[in-house]
Amino acid sequence: MQLALFDLDNTLLSGDSDYEWTLHLVNKGVLDRDVFEHRNMEFYEQYKAGTLDIFEFLDFQLQSLADNSRADLEAWHAEFMATTIVPMLAQPARDLVKRHQDQGHLCALVTATNSFVTGPICRELNIPHLIATIPAQQNGQFTGKARGTPAFREGKITRVEDWLEAMGLWWGNFERSWFYSDSHNDLPLLLRVSDPVAVDPDQALHAHAQTAGWTILTLHR
């Protein structure tokens, strides 16, 4: 048995779905441009710098889910998929996923971005399992808070291990395990698998991958 884990933003996707989702709502007039465009960029820069407070970010990002109806959110997301996300899913990324699936590997998308945003993207990629930050709901309405451990940094290991445990599995069941990521924020999970792969990596991850002799893969450049 073999395991293939994929980061989403700037890995399979040639962009950041969290960042682009907020821009989509700003451009639709759902969110105030003067407030949200600047704050969105601030959080994105903090993420790239490795200084992001995930709980502060989630308070920002998940509030728009709580403030709007599910019907409106899903309609806006369908537009978002068509106009923003599908054009950022390059064929080499789709082919990478399919190669693992064709070999019968257990595949999952592992992303810090919340599952409302990423669920349809996961389905578009035909990946059967999604491990994402979960926006809490009550009677179908989002609360604006996260449920459980965010799938961020070390939290990705926690969430992956919980997922495996729920299926009666653990790391030792796999002859090989891959994790594909672009970001130094994902070093904890990259260090946990047998075959870490840096995909169009940021500067810090590129340096680490070179030193460690990891595979460096280009999907978008």
Per-residue model confidence (pLDDT) at position 43: 83
Whole-model pTM: value is 0.95
What is the per-residue pLDDT across 105-136, written as a single tens digit (0 to 9) for each? 999 999 999 999 999 999 999 999 999 999 99
CB-CB contact of 34 with 20 (8 Å):
no
The residue type found at 139 is N
- What residue numbers bound the domain in which 59 lies? 2-217
* CATH code for position 12: 3.40.50.1000
Tokens representing 42 are 């601030």
CA distance 40 to 110: 22
Region for residue 97 given its phi and psi (left: phi exceeds 0; alpha: psi -120 to 50; beta: otherwise):
alpha
* Pick from 67, 86, 79: nearest CA to 24: 79
The catalytic position among 7, 18, 182, 186 is 7
CA distance 26 to 36: 7
The catalytic position among 9, 16, 18, 186 is 9
Overall domain count for the chain? 1
Say yes or no to pLDDT of 101 above 90: yes
What is the per-residue pLDDT across 131-155, written as a single tens digit (0 to 9) for each? 999 999 999 899 999 999 999 999 9
Active site residue 18: no
| Residue recorded with tokens 């082919």 | 95
Which residues contact residue 14 at a Cβ distance below 8 angstroms, ignoring those fewer than 6 apart? 88, 89, 90, 93, 219, 220
Which whole number is the average pLDDT over 191-211? 97
The residue type found at 46 is Q
Confidence of residue 37 (pLDDT cuts 50, 70, 90): confident
CA distance 97 to 105: 10
Active site residue 9: yes
CB-CB contact of 110 with 125 (8 Å):
no
Output 52 or 161, whichever has higher pLDDT. Answer: 161
The residue type found at 212 is A
* Pick from 160, 159, 201: nearest CA to 180: 201
The residue type found at 172 is G
Say yes or no to pLDDT of 221 above 80: no
Query: First-to-last CA distance in the chain?
Result: 32
CB-CB contact of 179 with 110 (8 Å):
yes
